[in-house]
Structure 1
Amino acid sequence: MLYVKYRYQDTVKVKFLKNLDVVSCTALSLYNIIKQYFNDNNVRLERMIMWTSDGAEVMLGKYNGVQARLKVDSPFLLEQHCVTHREALATKQAFAKVSYMSKVEGIVKAIYNHFSRSSTRQENLKDIFCVLDQKEIRMKRVHDIRWLSLGEAVTAIVRSYDVLVAYFSGESKSGKDPTAMGILSAITTYRDLLGKLNSLNKALQERNIRPSDAGRSVKRTIDSLRERYLTAADDAITWGPSMQKLLSRLPDMTELHGNKEESQKLFTSDVKHLVSELNINLQHRFPDTAFVNNFDIFVPALFPEERSVLYGVDQIEELYRRYRTLLPAEDLETISDEWDDLKYCLKESYLNCSQEEFCLDLTVDPVKRQQYPNMAILAEMCLVMAASSAEVERGFSQTNLIKTKQRNRLSAQHLDMLLRVKLCYTGLQSLDATKVYNNWLQAKRRRLIFDNPHSSDSESDMDC
């Protein structure tokens, strides 16, 4: 499934392009299909700036992956491992390295299964919500392929904490459910930590997010986690509000949870270990040395408060070295002088603008494009760089909704048409019904039957 990010006039768009009919899943086969599609539609591959996909070897393999083969046709192509996939992998690896926290997902699944498989248990839980005068909250299912599902499931458990405690306490003491005691001992979860990760994940799924935006979002999350969980002494943590609320309940449940101090020590050691591993994984997967970070010079908010002659000089040099055959500048000195003029204009006129607003104005405004031709080309590259393939994942979700078990014989062509209607639909106001009818009529020979009492038999039965 192909998506494209491009600039159209003064707007940056991300659109569904084509559901390709794939015969083989090898890198060579995928490359040939993609190249053939672009050639058939008169699109020059050398104009492709970035290739973004998941981290599969067939896609991003250094020597034989699809991106490596595309670089033969487009030497300026940058490969990008989807930032949302990277964040999910970093989180998964961090959880796997902490023995206690690796069980959290299983615990959450156990709580969901405990209620989903019994209508009696669901009714009992609902009764406790009513008794405690709380709004009923449904337990959430954890989906392995949905990035936010674990955090949402944990949030549902934390918000239902009082009700779950009352339910499992009753079940344990009555002896009705032998697994209730074990589940209750692991209900305490880390909603604050997962909340930060979910917030980061949602930011990385934004439609027009650029690689440099993603890097800054990850850095803010790393700094926030470090400040909250790792700056205190070895035996202490500055717990978030949700965790403080959970810990305050432990003294009233020593029979079920054990000693409060022992519980806090367990939480402290596990959470510190988890956050340390998480920060290490995020830093490894989002390095500050990435080439795309050179485009941060086009972010007005990052411009230094005091005028600096040296600001952006190194980044401009790196960009010139890579794209010099695409730029009209004859040498590095020419483009450096152009940047020197532009950055003071940026400071004075665009300080409150976003990177997209600044780059669009520089690209679209004919006066500025003529005045800063090299910067306009670099700004346009920055605009169309795609950091995430989340939009493609949404396309896959729509595919699963359309091509169900009952419609498994849908061809790739028909599936592409249905996806185009679903994903590119703009409303009936812009639909030309006559044009649609004529296209349908001309697609193949059709037998048209007109229900007209005044027409003859020969007129009412026509082959077209």
Structure 2
Amino acid sequence: MSKKRITDFFGKTCAEKASSTVTNDAQSDCTIVPSLKSNENETADEPGPSKKFKPSTFQSSWKKDRPWLDVNEKGEMICNYCIDNKMTNTFTTGCTNFRTSTLTRHVATTDHKLSVLAKTESKSLEKTVQNVVSQQEGAVTSAIDTVYWLAKENIATEKYSSLLELLEKEGCSNVKNLNVGGNASYRSTTIAQEIQQAIADTLMADIINEMKGSFCAAILTDESTDISVTGKLIVYVRFVTKDFELKSHFLGNFNIGEKDATTITDKLVTILTERGIPAEKILCLGSDGASVMTGVKNGVAAQLKRLSPFLINIHCVAHRLALCTSQAASKLDIMQQYKSTLTSLYYYFKGSSVRSSRLAKIQDLFEQPQIKMREMHDIRWFSFYNVLEGIYKSWSALIIYFDSTELSKDPKATGLRKSLLQYKFPAMTWFLMDIIPIITALNLVFQKDSLDVAVIKPIVSSTISKLEYLKCNEGHYKQEFKRLLNDGNKLFDHELSYKIQQEQMVEFAMENFIDKLIENMKKRFPDDSVSVISAFDVLAMRDLSFVPPSEVDIYGLEKLDVLLGHYSQPRGDPEVPGIVDEQATRNEYSLLKPLVLQQKYPRDQLAVLWKIIFECHRDQFPNLLKLASIALTLPVQTAI
């Protein structure tokens, strides 16, 4: 049997594949005899008086017990068996001698007998082929499962063949059946790659079909450069399905060459067009806030708005928070010096397994946690917490390590020991342990899959309040540091240098750092203005239960006006009609508020609340459901 392509196992039913295989094989193998001419005159009229009983048309009752008999479009009798076997006789061209005796004579002909024999052999072959296809189908399914498992476990595709050998050795019968069909064994790396592509194509087709059925979608994108210095554009999509389920999917990592706004825009439009997604369906764009994305006149967002007038651009909240921290630290020399010392520590131990092993032994000896030195990244300031925690828990072990090192032979160790024993280094470490965990906790919230726009404002306000508390009060770790100082100048019996000169410097730096953090957060997460993005939290109604009954009617109307101002008015050139009806939306919102209160619907997650409303009241709130779909797809963070 000829080898089948892997893609034949996607998009066809087993019955269709079996039928296709049987037809091809039957045509090549089953027509084993040449057509034999019959000398019988099948259409000769009956002699004598029988002519007056000749029926004028075909009688359907004649087909009983004659499965080969049929009538063509002209009403003439034909023999399907003879036609299938490529015979040439009256019953293949059409017979008009409507007599049962004509049928009897045809059954006795050599042509018909050979055709019946070929039909019988064909059925036997079909059964045989179906058995082979069934075995091969199970084997190929096992091969597909194997390739899928390798991909899920991040194991190289080159291990596919050896894994099949292991499965066969362990008695997996389906894998043994991969050898059915001679040379079609489906065991090569090429086959594994073909299976991978078939799986990817099938999954992507499902994603695109779901996306096409959604009301709107968001694009989350970022540009980068690969190892060959080729510009890349990574693209995710986010949408609410027709069943009101929020989904986020990886769409691809595409080559773009140049990374200017026009090239990126053209690439995004091409990606959408090739997949049959209209550009106007994209109502949100999430990015890292780079000028190429957010440029007012010719940025990617501005160019996409010409195709989708209701599109809004969102600067990822995690990126915004990272900028708040990095910019606050960049203005303080003492912070840059501290970071430089951390980086030097990392590379000192990274370059030698002997040093790392020796430090681990010291940590173990003094019953301290074995924490490795971690790298500090400028663009990932939240990796700073892991680095900071490592220093906080290992400072004493580090000093012991350097004290036990022959410093005369290791100038790097001499410099690091001196830096670690300056008062400002441990003081900064303990003081930052009060500040950085607060920012890290906020960052972790921002990276949750379930994050919705209604969460941002309260969690940012809470974070700012915690930072403002530290301006006026000593945190836990700052108090601990002061308790640990013995004789006013020793930490864990290690004497610190320059305490008098550096004490005020550290205090000033920490106050300045907190002030800059708060200032940047208020600037990048403004509390006093209502934008289209922040207005969407009106759909969450989290604080509705605390509103006095007399004020329920006016609750949320200000933010609703902002949403309607953007989505209910025509936009673009030529003008595109609004997405929602303004008055109908207002009416729906006035009905929704008492309904949510009476039914006590959960409001801790926007997606959960609107899934309930969709399932129970979709006909009552069509306009609000459109706004809720947009709210859920908003890419408030791109850290998917």
| Shared fold per TM-score greater than 0.5 | yes
Counterpart of 1:210?
Answer: 452
CA distance in 2, matches of 1:51, 1:216: 23
Distance 1:344 1:259, change over 3 A: farther
CA distance in 2, matches of 1:226, 1:278: 10
SS at 2:313's partner residue? strand
Structure 1, unpaired ranges of 5+: 392-464
Counterpart of 2:421?
Answer: 184
Amino acid corresponding to residue 158 of structure 1 in structure 2: Y
Q: CA deviation at 1:142?
A: 1.6
CA distance in 1, matches of 2:445, 2:309: 30
Counterpart of 1:77?
Answer: 311
SS at 1:137's partner residue? coil
Instruction: Report the TM-score, using the length of structure 2 for normalisation.
Output: 0.56
Alignment equivalent of 1:354, drawn from 586, 598, 605: 605
CA distance in 1, matches of 2:579, 2:507: 54
CA distance in 2, matches of 1:51, 1:268: 42
Q: Kindly provide the CA deviation profile for residues 169-192 of structure 1, in whole angstroms up to 9, marking residues without a partner as x.
A: 555999964211123322441122
Alignment equivalent of 2:289, drawn from 24, 41, 55: 55
Counterpart of 1:3?
Answer: 236
Paired residues for 1:379-418 under 5 Å: 379-391=628-640
Q: CA deviation at 1:352?
A: 4.9
CA distance in 2, matches of 1:42, 1:221: 43
Q: Kindly provide the CA deviation profile for residues 262-305 of structure 1, in whole angstroms up to 9, marking residues without a partner as x.
A: 66544332211101001111111112323211111122422251
Amino acid corresponding to residue 107 of structure 1 in structure 2: T
Q: CA deviation at 1:208?
A: 3.7
Say if 2:462 is the partner of 1:220: yes
Counterpart of 2:442?
Answer: 200
Q: CA deviation at 1:34?
A: 1.1
Say if 2:335 is the partner of 1:101: yes
- Do 1:88 and 1:147's aligned partners in 2 also have CA atoms closer than 8 Å? yes
Q: Bigger relative contact order, structure 1 or 2, given CA contacts below 8 A and separation 6+?
A: 1
Amino acid corresponding to residue 267 of structure 1 in structure 2: V
Counterpart of 1:316?
Answer: 560
Say if 2:482 is the partner of 1:247: yes
Paired residues for 1:43-442 under 5 Å: 43-170=277-404, 177-179=413-415, 180-185=417-422, 186-188=425-427, 189=429, 190-227=432-469, 229-230=470-471, 232=472, 237-240=473-476, 242-251=477-486, 253-254=489-490, 256-258=495-497, 264-288=503-527, 289=529, 290-305=531-546, 306-307=548-549, 308=551, 309-324=553-568, 325-329=577-581, 331-332=582-583, 334-348=584-598, 349-362=600-613, 364-365=614-615, 367-391=616-640
CA distance in 1, matches of 2:561, 2:289: 30
Q: CA deviation at 1:166?
A: 3.0
Distance 1:24 1:319, change over 3 A: same
Identity of aligned residues (%): 26
Distance 1:68 1:178, change over 3 A: same
CA distance in 2, matches of 1:162, 1:19: 46
Distance 1:60 1:98, change over 3 A: same
Q: Kindly provide the CA deviation profile for residues 74-119 of structure 1, in whole angstroms up to 9, marking residues without a partner as x.
A: 1111101111111111111000112212322112112222322334
Counterpart of 1:400?
Answer: none
For the pair shown, which has the larger CA radius of gyration, 1 or 2?
A: 2
Q: CA deviation at 1:327?
A: 4.4
CA distance in 1, matches of 2:245, 2:399: 52
Alignment equivalent of 2:276, drawn from 42, 46, 51: 42
Distance 1:225 1:39, change over 3 A: same
SS at 1:52's partner residue? strand
- Do 1:208 and 1:386's aligned partners in 2 also have CA atoms closer than 8 Å? no
Structure 1 stretch 174-183 or stretch 348-357: which is displaced more? 174-183
Say what the alpha-carbon RMSD is for the aligned residues: 2.4
Instruction: Report the TM-score, using the length of structure 1 for normalisation.
Output: 0.76
Q: CA deviation at 1:21?
A: 2.7
- Do 2:580 and 2:623's aligned partners in 1 also have CA atoms closer than 8 Å? yes
- Do 1:129 and 1:163's aligned partners in 2 also have CA atoms closer than 8 Å? yes
- Do 1:112 and 1:139's aligned partners in 2 also have CA atoms closer than 8 Å? yes
CA distance in 2, matches of 1:156, 1:194: 13
Q: Kindly provide the CA deviation profile for residues 307-333 of structure 1, in whole angstroms up to 9, marking residues without a partner as x.
A: 32221111111111111144453x44x
Give the number of equivalent residue pairs.
380
